[in-house]
Chains A and B, each alone.
Chain A
Amino acid sequence: DGGITQSPKYLFRKEGQNVTLSCEQNLNHDAMYWYRQDPGQGLRLIYYSQIVNDFQKGDIAEGYSVSREKKESFPLTVTSAQKNPTAFYLCASSSGDTQYFGPGTRLTVL
Chain B
Amino acid sequence: GESVGLHLPTLSVQEGDNSIINCAYSNSASDYFIWYKQESGKGPQFIIDIRSNMDKRQGQRVTVLLNKTVKHLSLQIAATQPGDSAVYFCAENIGSGAGSYQLTFGKGTKLSVIP
Which A residues are within 8 Å of any B CB, using their own CB?
A: 1, 4, 6, 31, 40-43, 45, 48, 50, 58, 90, 94, 96-104, 106
Contact = CB atoms under 8 A, between A and B. Distances in A.
A98 B105 contact: no
Could you tell me the dominant secondary structure of chain A's interface residues? Answer: loop
A98 B34 contact: yes
A31 B101 contact: yes
Closest 4 CB pairs of A and B: A101-B43, A42-B105, A43-B105, A101-B44
Interface of B: 2, 4, 32, 34, 36, 41-46, 49, 89, 91, 93, 99, 101-108
Nearest to B4: A42
B49 A42 contact: no
A58 B103 CA distance: 11
Contacts of A97: 32, 34, 49, 93, 101
B102 A104 contact: no
Most buried by A among B42, B101, B106: B101
